[in-house]
Amino acid sequence: KSSLGNTLLGKKQFKAQKSPKSVTKQCEGGDRIFLNKKLIVVDAPGFLDTDIQEETIKKEISKSYQVAAPGPHVFLLVLNLDRFTEQEKKAIKWLNHIFGPEAVDYCIVIFTGLDTLVEEERTIEQFIGDDPELDSCIKTCGNRYMAINNKATGNDQDVQVKTLLDKISAMVLKNGGQCYTNDGFQEVATEVEKEIQKTNGGFQPIKPDGTINLLPQTEKIVDGFLRRSIGRRDMF
């Protein structure tokens, strides 16, 4: 997942390594100008990661809300081509719980490890067809998916990024040309703007090192939104 973020940004912004457990423990962000578009990429921890405490997860969810406010243009559900874990099977349910039932309309499934499929002389369609649960997940996301090789460099990397941006643009257009939003995102956006004005532009939602400068107001808003939406007991 972090490797995909680095591919999109064209640089090593996020820590990435092969591991059976989630490497990302806190929400981080980075940006880039690509083809005259400003890309803001948020690398979030696996919110279904059982190794992360509930209070920490809630804080990281709040960070993801703040850095993406008033709302993201896309949610990228990142899966590895060598496995489809039990936690990953719950990802769509989690997306609905945390961001709302319409968030799936802004979701694209990204498979990493395309080089593995190439070596096996298999297509991504064959891989998806071998797993009914994975196929169901793809259909829930409107059959929007793409396989990416994070080892690609130079022009090959740029072609992949452009292809993904084209998919995102088509999806956003289908959704009325607007980013995804909800009451939580809108309230957070208002608070961030207030903080920027109060500090005469000094407040930076994303620090230079990529970490998120979380406002206490954001945590309160997101906690309230989650309570209203799904209730504390069903959150995790």
Ordered domains of the chain (ranges, CATH): 2-174 (3.40.50.300)
Its pTM stands at: 0.88
Choose among 16, 25, 3: nearest CA to 148: 3
Question: Could you give the CA distance from residue 181 to residue 128 in angstroms, rounded to a whole number?
Answer: 30
pLDDT for position 103: 96
Q: Which residue stretches of the chain have pLDDT < 70? A: 16-25, 46-52, 230-236
pLDDT for position 16: 65
Using alpha carbons only, what angle is made at residue 89 by residues 230 and 16, rounded to the nearest 5 degrees?
Answer: 100
Question: Could you give the CA distance from residue 219 to residue 223 in angstroms, rounded to a whole number?
Answer: 6
The residues near 188 (Cβ < 8 Å, ≥ 6 apart) are 65, 66, 69, 70, 217, 218, 221, 222
Distance of CA 117 to the CA centre of its chain: 24
